């Protein structure tokens, strides 16, 4: 194999691109195989991708309109022309494998199919996102992919049961953190300073969550959780903190109706790890989430994690020793689990320590990176 083409759907500061960056950075330091990077579209992390190697943004590439054959209609010429441009470029570069990050890259895989090389697709999505990308996208991904990586058993089961993909073609390699995050080395502000910034008393117990404020991440359930705790335990000094995304009118409406003065929403910030560090327990209220990176980041800081059964891959991490798993959308039970940890700080510490140990032993980029390289060699040689 001469060279690998790493493909990302974009360069946003979200879980899948961040994980991809962690892997490419590790790969550059630990593998002699050269590579290039192709981004379907750009984003905030563009410069970081560009620092790692030659990086092309598909949407920014010009289309050469000279010498257009007369039999091509105007609407088809740019697509055909761009395909020829990219295939010619990457054929000259000696691309021998395409590593596609996320299941959203059907268009790109079709564009590059003329390279006739093996394709590995790293699927980070469950059914809601696969459905939103459309049937045509999925058909192209399945047509051109030789092997898949899933970050959890839940993702693999979905691909097998709902889309008929051969389970032997799917390897489960759990999501991982880069070395810079393990142990919280990115923390820049103390818990006290962060709480003061949020007008939260230093001695308060902080229940935290992180993510975009959309249906999948379910900030509405987070607000309901806070409401239940306040109604049941009005005198307990518990605060709720959501980091990421923009608070919506609907969320503000519920917060006002519930009379919640103990809940805070912080928009997207590069210093999100400082906010996670000030939390006492991390709750994942997502209705559907494959294996959220932010939960691993919270666990790496010694935070116990509470999540829903049947909502994705996080119960595979939490199990019975790194937090609690509540029934799907079982907010009352989740609230009682929060209160159990509030009332038993020794248990809170033990669960957090076990989660921290699990991240180091199972979700380190050095472990996952070696597994991915081994898979790459197997796919290429077969």
CB of 353 closer than 8 Å to CB of 347:
no
> In the chain, which stretches have pLDDT less than 70?
1, 60-81, 179-185
Whether the domain at 3-176+364-381 and the domain at 191-362 fall into the same CATH topology: yes
CATH node for 3-176+364-381: 3.40.50.2000
This prediction's pTM: 0.87
pLDDT at 180: 52
pLDDT at 349: 97
CB of 11 closer than 8 Å to CB of 37:
no
Question: Whole-angstrom Cα distance, residue 354 to residue 102?
Answer: 30
Task: Sketch the domain layout of the chain as residue ranges.
Answer: 3-176+364-381, 191-362
Q: What is the pLDDT of residues 69-104, one digit of tens each?
A: 554 445 544 555 677 788 888 898 899 999 999 999
pLDDT at 280: 97
Question: Whole-angstrom Cα distance, residue 193 to residue 5?
Answer: 43
DSSP E strand stretches across 144-227: 147-150, 170-172, 205-210
Q: What sign results for the dihedral spanned by CA atoms 123, 128, 133, 137?
A: positive
Q: Tell me the CATH class for 191-362.
A: alpha beta
Residue bearing tokens 């393990």: 182
Question: Whole-angstrom Cα distance, residue 20 to residue 7?
Answer: 9
Q: Strand, helix or coil at 90?
A: helix
pLDDT at 245: 81
């Amino acid at each position: 194999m001469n060279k690998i083409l790493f493909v990302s759907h974009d360069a946003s500061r979200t879980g899948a691109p961040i994980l991809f960056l962690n892997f490419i950075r590790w790969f550059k330091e630990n593998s002699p195989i050269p590579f290039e990077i192709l981004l379907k579209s750009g984003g905030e992390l563009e410069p970081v991708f560009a620092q790692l190697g030659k990086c092309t943004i598909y949407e920014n590439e010009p289309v050469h309109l000279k010498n257009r054959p007369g039999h091509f209609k105007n609407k088809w010429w740019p697509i055909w022309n761009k395909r020829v441009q990219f295939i010619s470029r990457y054929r000259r570069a000696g691309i021998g494998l395409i590593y596609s990050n996320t299941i959203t890259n059907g268009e790109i895989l079709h564009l590059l199919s003329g390279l006739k090389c093996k394709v590995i697709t790293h699927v980070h999505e469950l059914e809601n996102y696969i459905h939103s990308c459309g049937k045509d996208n999925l058909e192209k991904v399945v047509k051109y992919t030789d092997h898949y990586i899933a970050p959890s058993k839940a993702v693999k089961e979905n691909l097998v049961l709902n889309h008929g993909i051969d389970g032997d073609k799917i390897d489960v390699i759990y999501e991982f953190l880069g070395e810079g995050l393990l142990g919280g080395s990115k923390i820049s502000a103390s818990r006290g300073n962060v709480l003061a910034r949020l007008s939260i008393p230093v001695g308060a117990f902080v229940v935290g969550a992180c993510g975009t404020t959309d249906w999948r991440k379910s900030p509405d359930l987070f607000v309901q959780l806070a409401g239940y705790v306040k109604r049941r335990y009005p005198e307990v000094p518990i605060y709720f903190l959501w980091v990421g995304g923009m608070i919506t009118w609907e969320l503000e409406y519920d917060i006002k109706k519930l009379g919640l003065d103990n809940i805070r929403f912080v928009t997207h910030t590069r210093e999100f790890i400082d906010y996670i560090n000030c939390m006492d327990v991390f709750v994942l209220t997502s209705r559907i989430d494959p294996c959220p990176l932010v939960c691993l980041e919270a666990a790496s800081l010694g935070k116990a994690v509470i999540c829903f059964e049947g909502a994705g891959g996080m119960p595979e991490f939490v199990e019975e020793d790194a937090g609690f798993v509540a029934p799907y959308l079982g907010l009352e039970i989740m609230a009682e689990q929060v209160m159990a940890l509030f009332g038993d700080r020794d248990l809170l510490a033990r669960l957090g320590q076990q989660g921290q140990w699990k991240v180091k032993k199972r979700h380190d980029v050095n472990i996952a990176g070696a597994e991915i390289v081994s898979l790459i060699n197997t796919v290429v040689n077969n």
